[in-house]
Each structure stands twice: as C-alpha cells, then as structure tokens.
Structure 1
C-alpha cells in the first residue's frame, strides 16, 4: 500500500523561512530510516504558495490563480510517498517523524489509489496504458 504523508504548511513555511540546521539533521536521519526500511518512494519540500499557482476548472474553461493563498492550514509544505503494509504502519512511521515545523504542526496521511481500487471502469486497455506510462517514467529516471 502506498501512502502520501502530507506536511501541512505554517505561516513560517509560507513566509519562506527555511528549516534550521538542527531540523534538517533530524529530518535527514528520519529519511535514512525510511530508506533503510525500504519504504521511501519519494519525499520533497515545497516552495511557498506565493511562488505557485492554481488552475481552476469550470467545464472547458481554465482560470489561472497566482499565489500566495491565504488559508495556510490547507496548504502543503512538503510530502513523503511511502510504501508499507498497512495504514497502521504508515501512522507509526509518521509518529516517528521529527516535528516538521516549529511549535504545532500536522502531517496528513492519505492512501494512494491502486489500479484495483478503480473497479470495472479501469478496463484492461486503460490498465495497459497506465503500466506503459509508468514504465516510461521509470526509464527516464
């Protein structure tokens, strides 16, 4: 099972405040644990929303909305993508994580959909296309 661990933004991360050397050291150790356990698939920090944009869809219309965005608690400062055996295991990994922000912070845990989750609508042709695309992406990295 794959899970995305979503680090919620804070006013500091949205202001572009970089983590301290101490926090980077603790996060480095945590990331090493994830790698040694064979569960880490990806993990990155994100620039503040002021450097981002959103694209709003309304039928066939597209509207680009430039950041920054005001609802800090709804924003993402970073993420990990892990592969573990269960939701409980994902929770245990998050509980071991250093606090990613000064003071109070939050990491959201969300399971990633797998092909079998989509049911009959995900036809054999669509499955084949998905597998082919994943192989192409993997071969480029």
Structure 2
C-alpha cells in the first residue's frame, strides 16, 4: 500500500506547488479569451491573479452583531420623542401624529419639486430645486425612514 500511495502523494505535492499562469487576448472579432497557455500568433497579456481576501466567520459574525446593535440604538433614539414622555401617554401619541404630519409634508413638497424638475426649468431655478430636493430627502431620511 505505501508503494502505491507514495507516487500519488508526490504527484499531488508537485501539482499543488505549481502555480498556474493565465493569459488573455482578443481575437479579430474583439472576443476576449483566457487560457493557461499563451496564444502563438496573437499578442497577449499575462493576468495577475491576487489571492482572495478572507474574513474569519467569527469576525464576520462579530461585525454583524455590532451593526445590528447600532441599528437598534438608532431605532430607539428615533422612536422615543423624549426621555420624559412615556410610550403610552397622550403626549407620545400627539408627538407621533405631529411627526407623521411633518413627514407627509416633506413627501408632498418633495413630489412637487420632482414634478417641477421633470417639467423643465432654467439653470438657476434647477439648481435651487435640486438643493431643496436634497434637503427634503435628508429630512425624510433623518426623521421618517426608520418608522
């Protein structure tokens, strides 16, 4: 058995240590080709293949937990109107209704600006409309998206 296994191991080691080269070229029709042997009659380039970057599973899971924790903190901060207002109180409901009205107003104004931009405008007016659209989009993102 060792006599049969030894040549196989030797071949495996030799093959594993040999690094392959990759060549690329384009033919007369513009089609890109890749091969481990360079073409004989076409000009070609050798492709440099970099090793893939890897992240261990534990690092990946740790990063996912950190990101999830940050998202949860942001949701809590945005959901609470103030630290002194309990969630079941009428003030909390009033605050939520006010926030909804404000968000609806942002969206209405944004839709109006979008229609003005689609309808055509002068250069100066277009810059003003785009600035207003950017500000409204930021307000919507900050105040309305995580609801």
Relative to the length of structure 1, the TM-score reads 0.20
Structure richer in strand, relative to its length: 1
Which of 1 and 2 has greater Rg?
2
Flag the structure with more relative contact order, 1 or 2, with Cα contacts below 8 A and sequence separation at least 6.
1
